[in-house]
Structure 1
Amino acid sequence: MDDDFEVRGLHEQLSEERAAQGEAFDQRIALFTAILATLAAVTSFLGGHTQNEALLHKNEAVLIKAQASDAWGYYQAEDLKRHIAQMEVDLAPVGFGATQMAAHRADIARYTARGTALKREAETLDRRSAAADGESDEALRPHTKLALAVTAIQVAIALASITALTGRRWLLWVAGAAALVGALLAGLAWL
């Protein structure tokens, strides 16, 4: 019995060659999957960043809107005081003192000036709030495409995994197509 001598058949040789090719194929799938996972992580981070930025601008819009509401309330109070002072002048009995009339007219002028300033402030705050709301909408605009991109990339990762398990090479083309769709969506999110 000679253990040093081995005769190999064609079947054994082909099996070893296919195993070597399979290892290379599996390594390519693993590398492809790792690249896709990295792309998905970056795209997911960018999607989360857009949400955070949108929330920051939305919170700013709400805060400024509350300040505008306060300014409008102060404006209405000053306008009400002006209106009451004007009614006192308009309804003053004949012979009402000139000093009192002058004091009421001074009050009217003061309330009018304060009301004008408060109205300008409220209008400015309303515009700032609307601008911050617009910035929120603009910051959130790419989010949907980024979320769809991450989904397509995750589908590509799943298909690549199935390819590695089943050895069906055609699935890798489908995975590549899904990855391409995800990459395109991620790119379109910023246009």
Structure 2
Amino acid sequence: MSGGTFHVHGPHDHELEHATQHAAEHGAGHHGAAHHGVGGGSMTNQIAMFTAVIATVGAIFAYMGGATQANAGLFKNNAALKKTEASNQWNYYQSKSSKQNLSELALALVTEDKKDFYRKEIDRYKLEKAEIKLAADKLEAEANEWDRKSDAEMHVHHRWAQATTALQVSIALAAIALLTKKKWLEVGMFGVAAVGAAIGVAAAMHI
């Protein structure tokens, strides 16, 4: 789920409202059906309350899913910046290596009185290269850590998306259960909601 909203309204909404009104009218219609109307009304109220709770929880799950996806994108961007900085350091390192190679070549060609200068140059380039390598290695390690954080956030994002989807399915089952008065559908909506809640807990625990 890439957004931060949880859409409860769907094609079944009109039918759900119609069924609720029908249950209320049927319960008040005549005394002979009063007992049946009370039972239907009780089921209607139970499912309505369940839907409201699940919709609220689903909205929270959807928000968390959007937040983790945003974090994953931010972390991936940080990783890309660190990789660019590391690449620049390695280019700088290569430049120092080339200069060191030229100094080593010059050392072999120049007269003895100039060799000391090129030896110092070679030692300087070696020292600079060591410092540059440390900086480049550190940047690469930071880039890898940002990549790891991004992957972890995306994993949690997928968990939130799965949990949100399960709750949406549960709400759809609730609407169908209300319209058909099928007990097994009512049990199913609770079961799917429980699965969604469990996945949500796993997401909260970064599992």
TM-score range, shorter chain: 0.7 to 0.9
Post-superposition CA distance 1:15-62 (Å, at most 9, x none): 133223322321211110011111111111112222122222111111
Q: Select 2:42's aligned residue among 15, 20, 24.
A: 24
- Within-5 A mapping of 1:117-132: 117-132=131-146
| 1:146 aligns to 2:164 (yes or no) | no
> Kindly tell me: are residues 14 and 169 of structure 1, through their superposed partners in 2, closer, same or farther at Cα, counting changes over 3 Å?
farther
Q: Select 2:104's aligned residue among 86, 89, 99.
A: 86
Measured in 2, the distance between the counterparts of 1:152 and 1:138 equals: 21
Q: Which residue of 2 aligns with 1:8?
A: none
Which range moved further: 120-129 or 20-29?
20-29
Measured in 2, the distance between the counterparts of 1:81 and 1:177 equals: 70
SS of aligned partner of 1:79: helix
Between the two proteins, the alignment pairs up a number of residues equal to 177
Amino acid at match of 1:140: M
| 1:188 aligns to 2:202 (yes or no) | yes
Q: Select 1:114's aligned residue among 114, 128, 144.
A: 128
Measured in 2, the distance between the counterparts of 1:80 and 1:153 equals: 62
CA drift of 1:97 comes to: 5.6
CA drift of 1:12 comes to: 3.8
| 1:134 aligns to 2:139 (yes or no) | no
| 1:38 aligns to 2:56 (yes or no) | yes
Measured in 1, the distance between the counterparts of 2:165 and 2:155 equals: 17
Q: Which of the two has higher C-alpha Rg? A: 1
SS of aligned partner of 1:141: helix
Q: Which residue of 1 aligns with 2:72?
A: 54
Alignment RMSD (CA, Å) = 1.8
For normalisation by structure 1, the TM-score amounts to 0.85
Q: Where does structure 2 lack aligned partners over 5 or more consecutive residues?
A: 1-28
Measured in 2, the distance between the counterparts of 1:48 and 1:58 equals: 15
Post-superposition CA distance 1:77-96 (Å, at most 9, x none): 0011011011110133xxx2
Measured in 1, the distance between the counterparts of 2:156 and 2:68 equals: 7
Q: Where does structure 1 lack aligned partners over 5 or more consecutive residues?
A: 1-10
Measured in 2, the distance between the counterparts of 1:118 and 1:19 equals: 81
Measured in 1, the distance between the counterparts of 2:109 and 2:155 equals: 58
Q: Select 1:175's aligned residue among 177, 184, 189.
A: 189
Q: Which residue of 1 aligns with 2:83?
A: 65
Q: Which residue of 1 aligns with 2:13?
A: none
SS of aligned partner of 2:182: coil
Measured in 1, the distance between the counterparts of 2:32 and 2:66 equals: 50
Question: Percent of aligned pairs with the same residue?
Answer: 33
Amino acid at match of 1:37: A
Amino acid at match of 1:35: V
For normalisation by structure 2, the TM-score amounts to 0.79
Moved over 4 A (4+): none
Amino acid at match of 1:184: A
